[in-house]
Structure 1
C-alpha cells in the first residue's frame, strides 16, 4: 500500500515539474513562434494516460472548477492592465463583438455542426455556443508585448474580456433546452439581461468597495496587499455568480476600475497577479491537456470534422461576425480582416465543453474532442501568425512604452513616499529638457536614470532623452500631479 506521505510528495513533485516545464515552454514558445498555451497543452497530453502514463486524470468536474478559478485570475490580471483611456474609444465595437459577434459566430458554427457532426439542431447550437467566444487567456498572452495598433489590440482585449458571459449564457441555455422538457423562453431572455446588467453593476460596486478596502487598510506586510486583491477578485466572482449574474464580467469590470485608479502598492499587486495568472494558465492548460486522451482526439473522424469546423469558424463564422457587428463603427477593410483573424479560441471553449459532459448529453465526448481540436488549430495557426498578419496588413504600431508604475519604497505607514519608474517617450513634455528646465511638483526628486543599459547619476544639466528610464522619488501627496506631468 502506498504511503499517503509518498503520494503527497509525488504530487508536489509533479506540480513543481509542471511549473518549471511551463516556464521553460514560455521561453521556447517565443523563439518558435508558437503560443505558449499550445506547449502547455502538449505537456499535459504527453504526461497523461495516453502518453507517458505518468498521470491519469478524467475528473471533468474538478477540471471545470480549476478552469473557472484560473479564468477568474486571468481576467482579473487582464482587467488590471486594461487602460480605460485606451478602451473607451472602442467600447461600443467591443461590446458589439462580445454580444452580436458571439451570437453570429455561434449561429454559423451551429449550422455547420448540425451538418458535419450529424447532431440535432439544439446540439448544434450547444457546439456553436461553446466555440462562439474568443478567449481572454489566449488573447492576453498572445498580444502581450506585441506592437499591434493600440486601437485594434484594445478592441480584441476588451472583446475577449467581456464576451465570456454571452458564450456561457448560450451554452447553458441550449443545454437546458435539450435537458428540460418545458423551458420558458421569456425566462431565458430575462436571464440574459440579468446576467449582463447585474454583472456590470456588481463589478462597478464591488470594484469601488475593493478599491477603498485596499487603499484604506493598513497591513503589516506589503506582501499581503496582492493576496488581499486576489481575494477580492474571487469574492467578486462568487458573490455575483451566486445571484445568477455573470461573475466573469463582474471580475473584469472590477479589475478595470481598480487598475485605472490610484492604488496602494500598485506595482506589487500588478506583478503578483501577473505571475499568479501565468501560473494558473500553465496549470489550467496542462490540466486540460491531461483531460484529453490523444487516442480519442487524433482519430480520423475527429481530425476531419475538427478541421472542417475550424475552417468554417476561422474563415466564415468569425469574419461574418466581425464585418456585421462592426458596420459603421470606423474600422476599415484591413482592420476588419485582422480582427477576423485574431479571434483566438483557448481555455474558455474547452472549459465550456465540460458543461455538456457534466449534464450527460449524448454527444458530449464528441463535442469535447472536436472543441479541443478546434482550439488547438486556432491557437496554432492564428496565434502564431497574428503579428505576421498585422505586418502584412500594415497594422503594426510604434514600439510599446510601459506606462509609469510605482515601486514601493517602504511599507505603508512608515513613510509617505514611493519611487515611480517611468520610461521617457518622445511625446512627453519632459523629453528633450534638462532637469532644471522641468517644473516638478514639490517633494519630487529624480534619483537615477538608466540610458542604454547604463546608469546615469542625474544632475540639473542632465537632459531627458527618449527611452530613458527614470526613477523618481515622490511623496504620495504629489503623486497625482507627477503622473499628469509624465502623461504622454
Structure 2
C-alpha cells in the first residue's frame, strides 16, 4: 500500500514538475528563437534514465495512446479558430498538398531511404509514409503570433490539419503489407476512400450535433460548456476510429463547424481548449523525449543517415511536392519556396513511428530512431527560421497584436442570458449610428465599448465607430435577432 502511495506521489510530482518546466521553456524558446516543442523534447530526454534519471520510460504503446489523444485536442483547438472563409480561399492548394503532396514526398523519401538505409522497398516506403506529412502541432505552434501573410499561413494550417489521414492511411497500409501475406492493393485503395468519406461524414455530424447541444443544453455553470465541446471531439475520434476511418479528419472538421457557429460561451470554450492544447502539447513532446534513448539516437550511424535523409526531405522531396501539387495555382515562386521551407515535421511522424514498433516490423527500431532524428532536424532548422525566411522573401503581413483588453465571463446557465463580444467593421449596419437610433431587440444592453484600447461608457448619444469592440448583454431568446442585426 505504501509503495502504491509513493508511486502515485512520485507520478504526480513528476507530472507537475514537467508541466512547470514545459511552461517555463516557452519563455526560453521565445528568446532563443527555437520552437518550444524542441525544448519540450529536450526536457523529456534530460528527465529520462540516460539524463538525470528522474523517470524510466520505454512504453511505445502508451506513448501512442497519449500522442493520439494529444493530437485530437491540438487539432480540435486549431479547428476551433479556423474560419471557413479562410479555408475556402486556400482549400484547393491545401488539399492538394495534403494528398498529392504527401504521396510525392513519400515516394521521393522512400527511394532515398532504400539507398541510404539499405532496407526492403516496403520498409523504405513505410519510412517515407511516416515522414510524409507536415505536423499540425508543430505548424500551429510555430505560426502562432507570426505576421506571415494570411494566405500562406492558412494554407499551411489547413494542409497540416488535413494531411494526417493520408499519412496514417499509408503507414497502416504498408504495415499490413509487411505483416500480412494476403493484403490486397485494391482493398487498400477502397480503404482510403472509406476513411476519408466516413471521417468527413462523422465530423460533419458531430460538429452540427455539438453546436446544437452547446446552444440548447442549459448547464449549471459556464465552465461546463468547454468540457461539453471537447467531449464531442473525443467522441467523434473514437467512433470514427472504431469504424476504421480517419478520426483525426473527423475531429478537425467537427472543430471547424463548432468554431464557425454562433456559440454560447464562445470565449470560455476557446480559452479552455487553448490551455488544454498547451497541456497536451507539453505532455506529448516530453513523453516522446522520454521514449528515445540518447545513446541509441546520437550514434554516428544514425546521425549521418538521419541528417542525409532530413536534407533530402527538406531540400528535395518537400520542394518538388509543393511545386508539383500547386502548379497553375495562384502562388508566385517566392510563396512556393516559403511553403516548401515551412513543411514542418513534428509529433505525428514520431507517433506514427511507434506503429511499426508495436506491430513488430523488421527494422522498426531503426525507423523510429531515424524518424526521431529527422523530426529534430526539421523542427530545429526550419521552425527556428520560418520568420526569417518570410522576411527575406518579403512575405510578411501586418504585425499581429493581441488586443490588450479582455473580459472574463463567469455565468450561471440558469440566468438565461450572456454577454457577447462584437467588433464593428466598416460594412456593419450599426457603424456610424448613435446607440439610441439603433433598433436593438428587447432584452439587449451594450455594457461597454472598447475604442482604441480605451474603455467608453455607452450612452444613448454615443456613436458607434469602425473598430469598436462592443460587449453586449442579451437574453438567449433574443440572441438570434441580435446576430441578424449585427451581421446583416
The bucket for the TM-score relative to the shorter chain is: over 0.9
* Contact 1:147–1:398 (CA under 8 A) maintained in structure 2: yes
Shift in alpha-carbon separation, 1:69–1:466, aligned structure 2, 3 A = same
Specify the alignment match of 1:132 in structure 2: 132
| 1:90–1:363 distance in 2 versus 1, CA, 3 Å | same
Distance 1:192-1:4 versus aligned 2 partners, 3 A rule: same
Measured in 2, the distance between the counterparts of 1:406 and 1:451 equals: 14
Report matched runs for 1:242-253 at 5 Å.
242-253=242-253
The answer as to 2:136 corresponding to 1:166 is no
- Partners of 1:420 and 1:473 within 8 A in 2: no
Partner of 1:84: 84
1:117 aligned residue:
117
Task: Report Cα offsets for 1:79-100 as digits up to 9, x if no partner.
Answer: 1111101111211211111110
Distance 1:208 1:258 in 2: 7
Contact 1:226–1:269 (Cα < 8 Å) also in 2: yes
Report if aligned partners of 1:406, 1:419 keep a CA contact under 8 Å in 2: no
Distance in 1 (CA, whole Å) between partners of 2:430 and 2:45 is: 51
Unaligned runs of 5+ in 1: none
Q: What is the distance in 2 between the residues matched to 1:306 and 1:487? A: 53
Q: Which residue does the alignment assign to 1:416? A: 417
Which residue of structure 2 aligns with residue 288 of structure 1?
A: 288
Distance 1:224 1:248, change over 3 A: same
Cα contact 1:446–1:458 (8 A) shared by 2? yes
1:196 and 1:402 mapped to 2: Cα distance? 36
* Match in the other structure for 1:146: 146
Deviation digits for residues 378-417 of structure 1 (CA, Å, limit 9, x no counterpart): 1111111112211211111223477999965632331323
Find the counterpart in structure 2 of residue 267 from structure 1.
267
SS in 2 for 1:3: helix
What TM-score, normalized by structure 2, do the two folds share? Answer: 0.93
Tell me which moved more, 427-436 or 245-254. 427-436
Structure 1 residue 137, shift from structure 2 partner: 0.5
CA distance in 2, matches of 1:448, 1:238: 42
Deviation at 1:445, TM superposition (A): 3.7
SS at match of 2:448: strand
Structure 2, unaligned stretches of length 5 or more?
Answer: none
In the other structure, the counterpart of 1:441 is 440
Shift, 1:306, TM fit: 1.0
- Report if aligned partners of 1:416, 1:475 keep a CA contact under 8 Å in 2: yes
Contact 2:194 2:245 in 1 (8 A): yes
- Measure the CA separation in 2 of the matches of 1:31 and 1:269: 30
Q: Does 1:352 align with 2:352?
A: yes
Distance 1:329 1:306, change over 3 A: same
CA distance 1:93–1:478, change in 2 (3 Å): farther
**In structure 1, how many angstroms separate the alpha carbons of the residues matched to 2:457 and 2:438?**
19
Superposed CA offset, 1:197-228 (max 9, x none) = 11111111122122222222222222121112
8 Å contact from structure 2 (residues 204, 253) kept in 1:
yes
Q: Which residue of 2 aligns with 1:216?
A: 216
Partner of residue 100, structure 2 = 100
CA distance in 1, matches of 2:91, 2:430: 31
CA gap of 1:14–1:472, structure 2 versus 1, over 3 A, is same
For 2:376 and 2:114, the matched residues in 1 are separated by 21
RMSD: 2.5
Matched residue, 2:18: 18
CA contact (8 A) 1:56 1:290 kept: yes
Deviation at 1:469, TM superposition (A): 4.5
Verify the 8 A CA contact 2:430 2:486 in the aligned structure 1.
Answer: no
Distance 1:2 1:119, change over 3 A: farther
8 Å Cα contact 2:222/2:410 also seen in 1: no
**Pairing of 1:292-303 with structure 2 (within 5 A):** 292-303=292-303
What SS does the corresponding residue of 2:415 show, helix, strand or coil?
coil
Question: Aligned partners of 2:402, 2:306: CA distance in 1, in Å?
Answer: 40
Contact 1:405 1:420 in 2 (8 A): no
Q: Provide closer, same or farther for how the CA distance between residues 135 and 274 of structure 1 changes in structure 2, counting only shifts above 3 A.
A: same
CA contact (8 A) 2:448 2:455 kept: yes
Change (3 A) 1:397 1:3: same
CA distance in 1, matches of 2:242, 2:67: 18
Contact 1:418–1:476 (Cα < 8 Å) also in 2: no
Q: Deviations over 1:116-143 (max 9, x none)?
A: 1111111110000000000011111111
Q: Is the Cα contact below 8 Å between 1:199 and 1:250 reproduced in 2?
A: yes
How far apart are the structure 1 equivalents of 2:179 and 2:394?
49
SS in 2 for 1:353: helix
Q: Deviation string for 1:232-268 (max 9, x for gaps)?
A: 1111001001111101101111111111111222211
Q: Which moved more, 1:138-147 or 1:126-135?
A: 138-147
| Cα pair distance change 1:8/1:133, threshold 3 Å | same
Count of residue pairs brought into register by the alignment: 486
Q: How big is the shift at 1:277?
A: 0.7
For structure 1, which segment, 477-486 or 126-135, has the greater mean C-alpha deviation from structure 2 after superposition? 477-486
2:191 paired residue number: 191
Change (3 A) 1:294 1:283: same
Q: Structure 1's 48 and 465: CA in aligned 2 closer, same or farther, altered over 3 A?
A: farther
Task: Return closer, same or farther for 1:23/1:438 CA change in 2, 3 Å cut-off.
Answer: farther
